[in-house]
């Protein structure tokens, strides 16, 4: 008898306050292994920019991982 297990993996990411000198319009930076997401924090977080690990701007091509928006809102 075969058993199928469903495992839900959440994408690991870290959230930290942005360095105001480096990016004054950014409130929070969230990072995964490959991407860095720059957010403006308010009632609803606004995704400003997404950069690849090498600094390439991939905004509009990459969506934030599940629950990142919720966690960014809680951190702000």
The residues spanned by each domain of the chain are 14-75
What is the structure's pLDDT at 30? 93
Tokens of 1: 């008898």
What is the structure's pLDDT at 20? 58
What is the structure's pLDDT at 73? 87
What is the structure's pLDDT at 22? 55
Beta pairing class for 14-17 and 28-31: antiparallel
pLDDT of residue 36 exceeding 60: yes
First to last CA, the chain: 49
pLDDT of residue 50 exceeding 70: yes
């Amino acid at each position: 008898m075969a058993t199928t297990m469903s495992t839900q993996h959440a994408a690991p990411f870290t959230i930290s306050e942005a360095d105001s000198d480096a990016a004054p319009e950014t409130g929070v930076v969230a990072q995964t292994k490959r991407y860095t997401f720059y957010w403006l924090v308010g009632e609803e977080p606004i995704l400003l920019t997404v950069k690849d690990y090498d600094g390439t701007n991939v905004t509009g091509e990459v969506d934030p991982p599940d629950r990142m928006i919720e966690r960014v809102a809680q951190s702000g």
